[in-house]
Structure formats: C-alpha cells, structure tokens
Structure 1
Amino acid sequence: MRAFSIPVIVTCLNLFFVLSCTQKTSQEESGKNWYKGNLHTHSYWSDGDEFPEVIMKWYKDQGYQFVALSDHNVFQEGEKWKAIRADSLYRNAFQNYLSEYGEDWVEYVQEEEELKVKLKTFEEYGPLYEEKEKFIMIPAQEITADFEGKPLHLNLTNLERLITPMEGGSVVEVLQNNINAVLEQRKASGKPMMVHINHPNFIWAITLEDMIRLKGERFFEVYNGHPAVHNLGDSTRIGYEAMWDFINIAYLEKGQPLIFGLATDDSHNYHKQGAKFSNAGRGWVVVEADSLAPDTMVEALERGDFYSTTGVELEKLSYSNNVLEVAALPKEGVNYTLEFIGCKEGEKDTQVLKTVEGNAGSFEVSADLLFVRCKITSSEPQHNPVENMKNQLAWTQPVRPE
C-alpha cells in the first residue's frame, strides 16, 4: 500500500473529499482520488421498498460517488411490474415519484385499489445520474442461496451476467461453489469483479469455522446496517470484528491472502426510519483509485486501498516503510480513540498494541507481527444506529510487515 493523504471536505466547493486549492496533496501528485460508496443496496426489483432511480438520487445527493444495487438473484433488466401496497405511506410515495419523474417516465396501471408500476431497468435509470468522476452505478447481484434453511448470501460486484445460485452438501460447499462461480465468470470475461460474504451472523447461518475453510474469498462485511444481522454477536457467538481477525490469522497460516472488511448499508427500507428498519446511510467504504469506474473500484478494493466507516472521516491514512499512520478529520467538540490492533507471530488472537487518545497516531509494524489494523472510535454518535453501536467508527484494512 502506498502512502496517501486524505483531503478535507470543503463545503463551499460542494464536493466530497476535496482539499483547499492552495494546498498540495499526495492525490494531486499521484493522480489518485477518494470515492465514497455503498456495495449492498436493495430496491423494488427484489425486497426493497423504493424505485431504483429514487434510491440512486438519494445516494448521489448525500455525496456518494458509487453504489452497487445488489438485488436478490436478479439484475435490473427485462420487464418487471411492481404492485404498490395500499398503505397510504407507499401510495403517497408513489405520487411523489410520479410528480418527480412525470407521466412520460412512469408507466403504471391502476384499477380500483390495485396499482402496478413498471420498474425501470439499469440501462434506463443509469443515465439519469451517472456523471463522469462524480457518480456511477456498479452492476451487482446478491447471490441468495441456502442450506437447510440457513441463508447464505454473497454479493457479486461488477457482474457480467447473473449467477444462478449454486447448491451444495454443506454451508461451506454452497458458499465455495458460489465463490467459484464468480471467479470462473471473472476469468472467462476478463473483467474485474469481486465477491464478498454478507452478514455471517444473520440467523446465525455462517460460523467462523465455515469462513476459515473458504478459498478465494477476499472480503466480508465487518459492519452491516441491517438490524437483524448481529454485528456484535451475542453471549455465546462472536461479532464480526473478532471474526475478521481470527479468519486472517487462519488464512495466513494456510498461506492465503488477507481478507478485507467492508461496511455496508444493506438498505431495504426507505420510508420508515429507525433502529428496527434497514435504512440507507449507515455504513460505507471510501476507496482510493485513479478514476471513478467499476473496474478501478474493484481493483482498488482488492489492493486494500480503502477504509470502512459508519461516519468517521479520515484526513490521512498511509502505510510506508512499515509505519501505519492514521488521522481522523478533526471536529470541534469531538474526541477520537485510535486502537492499533494486531497479532504477533505464533499467537492465536489479536491484541490492542497501542492506543492513542486523539485524532491522529502512528504505529511501526515490526517483523514479528502477522498484521496490524486500526480501529477509530469517535465520541460523535452515529446517525440512526443499529444494535448497540452508538458511536461512529472506522476500520482501516490490515497491513503486513514489508
């Protein structure tokens, strides 16, 4: 990973992650930029409760640069009609949709109490919001499989074509067969694409032992904004952050690459807000890349050139000459705690190697360490949190001694 410095937001420019024009940044020198995005989102095409173009407008208006609309086992193509619930909340939302986009755009049929709307395809709604170096949509699918009633979900990002969920004789076999299907599609197409494991603790479907046995998996969700996925585990089962470390210890023992941790929304509910609903804006990634395009986003994610967050913004993140440097964007009245977490050679668990009370800190990654990552905790509360995760957090990706 190269050294880089994350620029500060300048509101007057109405751009995200742009530094004052009087200050030279390493992005300007290297040609790299930072892009905010969500890799797990749902719409009326599966079990979300809003039209895709409305969802994309919300994300773009909120300063996101990319979104992967990952509906369950479907891509937004072909003809699909959606019956709109009779509930006034959803009928009023439809009227707003109709007013915003107009009769020439919205195709619908209403007979007495029944209202059906023809959903727009990716090719139709994409041009409304895609804008060079400002906003893109990445084709995606949530591969939705199961084994003996356990939901086994994986996201395919930057897909070439839909994947029919693969079956198998165990949780691991089902997951591995679907991972392999993505890797095979990638090889055949020559197109960068990635697969990640979604919310392992959802209905306690995927255990740590299952995750450790997988091959070719490079990502999983260290944070998911759905209220039913048990980010923190429970009294007998570990949460995602601990799972992440144990997986990486096991992977390195087997000679496999490190697995990276994503923060995602997994948004479904766009009209009702609160801890009981799966809302947008809870978790995202910030990616360093030389341009805003689906292929470059995937390639940068695979290099680990990103951090995951539920609200904390970083102004500096670098790893050079075995020194990991992290700085959160200072905010008046907001305090930060930086924890550098790692595992020593020969040990089976991670520990907090250094704690910094303040917005900035560094850590030298010595040769006797397997890996080190940084967790940043803010005193600022997360907007609309789930579980007991009240404070804003960020996670850097693990790095190894060079």
Structure 2
Amino acid sequence: MPLHVTDYTWSQTDSAVNVSVPLKGAAPGRVDVMSTDQYLKVHFPPYLFEAFWFEDIDDERSSAKIGDGVAVFSLMKRTNRWWQHLMMVNDDKESKRRIREKALEKHLQKVSAEAKIKAVRKQAESKYALETMMELEDQERDRIQKMKDSEREKVSVELVAWQQNHPTPLRDNTKTPEHGSAKSGRNQPVHRETKRRSQEPPPPRAAGNIQITFTPRVFPTALRESQASEEEEWLRKQAEARRVVRADLEELEDLTQEERNPDWLKDKGDRCFVSGDYMGALNAYNLAIRLNKKMAALYANRAACHLKLRNLHKAIEDSSQALDLLTPAVEANASARVRAIVRRGSAFCQLQLYAEGLQDYEAALKIQPENKQLQEDTQRIRDMVQGCPPD
C-alpha cells in the first residue's frame, strides 16, 4: 500500500489556491504529477498525495513548481469565492472512483496530444534545419563560383599582359619546303584527308561488367521502413555498454577473472533465478551492475528478482532504469522493453496502484498487440480500475 502524504499545507485567496506537498527527499525527476479540474495526484514511491478539490479549478491557468524538496501548486479557481475546505468533505468512494477514472482518461488524452504536438514541432524543426543547411550550401557554392570567376579573370588579364610583353614572331607561310609556292594545289588533298579523318566518329567502347557490392545491414527491415538513425544509435550504445567496465572496486583484487566479467555474472544470475535461488541471482546482478552500469538487461533481470522477493519499489526503480537504457526504441529491443514495462506494471499492481499499472500494461500492449496473455492481463487490470470484480 502507498503511504499517503498528510503533512501538506495550503492557503487561498478569492481567485487562487496554493498547495505545498513535501517530497520527503524524492528527486524531482522521480515525481509523477497528474492534474485535472477536479483532481490532483502527486506520486513519488512509496508516497502518494491525492486531492479531490472542494470546487473545480482551471487546470489550464494553473501551474506547478517541483524542487528543493517540495512541490508547490498554484491553482486558479473557476469561481472567485472563498472555499470552506480544500477537498471534498464527503467520503463517497464511488464518486472518487469516477473522478479518478475521468482524470486518468483526460491525462492520457493530454499526453497523446502533447506527443502529437511534439512530433509536429520536431518535424518542423527538422525541415527548418534542412532548409537552412541547403541555403548555407547554396551560399558556399556561390562563394566558390565567385572565387573561380575572379581567379579566371585574373589569369586572363595576366595572360593578356604577358602576350603584350612577349610578342610571338610571325611565320613565313608563303612557301613550303620542297614543294614551292603554298598556293599550288599539291597539298590540298592531304588537308582534305586530314579533315575527313578528324570528322569520323571514334570507335565504340568495349563492353564490360561493373561489380557492385552492398554493405550488409544488421537489421532485416528495408531502409525505407526502418529507423536507420535509431538503429545505429542502439548498436552504438550496445557496443559502448559492452566496453564499459568499472575497475575502481576495492574488492576487485579478491575477485576471480570470471567474476570481473559482467556477462559471466549475468549468466550466473540467470541460472540462479531459473533454479529459484533469487538471493543468489540478486547478488550476481548487483556485482555485475557495479562493474557495468550501462547494461539494461542487468537492471531488468534484477527487477524480476525484486518482484519475487516482494521488493516492489526497488522493482519499479530497476525497471525504469532498464527502460532509460533501452533507448532509442527500435525493433531489436522491443521484447526487452515489453519485459521491463510489464515488470514495472506488475509491481504497481501489487502496490494496488492499478491506474499506474494499467498505463504500463497498455504501453506494453502497443508494442506487442498480438500477445494474448498480455491482452488478458491488461483487461483484468482495466476491470479492476473500473471497479468490476475480477474473474
């Protein structure tokens, strides 16, 4: 069960309400906020703050500041009048459930709209960057052409000046050796033959074959259908993760050569997990992560151990860390992302945070929509969020 925050403070004016929620040491990046006109949720595991407002607020004109160990919300009232209470006085669970579901639906719509706006903005920025680059290339091409024209003109002027200073002597073409006058017609056939030969087309070129080879691609999808840049970035990060090994452990001297290899430790942890030795697997993954903090599989597998050992908050943290490392999202890491998302969603559900768990399961279902087991689990959690009894 989450720990509900009760030591919040609030104040109000005729037009606004100010609420301060202590974060109890949580980093700003770990704070999840969901806000609507009737509802506010601030979640920073294992703590949770929920507020069902006494009257509606204007969420579009409201603001939030998270930092320095506190989250401060400045909420604008829709009606300028004094509130008798900050939250609803009745404890109607059915009304709160409907408000929570409506808030979740509105939040998902807002996130989707923001994602679309972000995609459009990114496309516009890419187009602007491309146009700017093309303009710069045109300017550079014009500059080079002007330099060429200037150099050509300079050389032409120097050549004319040199010719004026070094006149070429005229040849006496009135006579040719051994043939008398140039006006006699003896050499005319020779000139006509030379001219005729110069006008003949050159012989055809010999036929041949040109061998073309292509660099094999690591990913099987066609280039026009794939995310080439994301795939290359993922390969680069995978190679970097294999190279990064920390060597500043004090007990490194006591480890064997195999125990200094994160891949060997991962395999050992996998074997322990399969055999049911979850603590042994956890210790192997812990040491492997101390040696290499860039391998997403280590965090995802350690999250599975925490689930078995009921360390649910640690399972959420490790799953989130694995998802941070599993970027960019490409086909090669789709299965790994699904496993990490489902493990985090399972931890949320075991903490009875079904709304958060449903978000994760729906995200995993978007990656693998044909997964029957995932469809059944998602529907079961959706029924629990909506108040339907589980099968």
Structure number having the greater helix percentage: 2
TM-score normalised by length of structure 1: 0.22
- Higher relative CO (CA 8 A, sep ≥ 6), structure 1 or 2? 1
Structure number having the greater strand percentage: 1
TM-score normalised by length of structure 2: 0.23
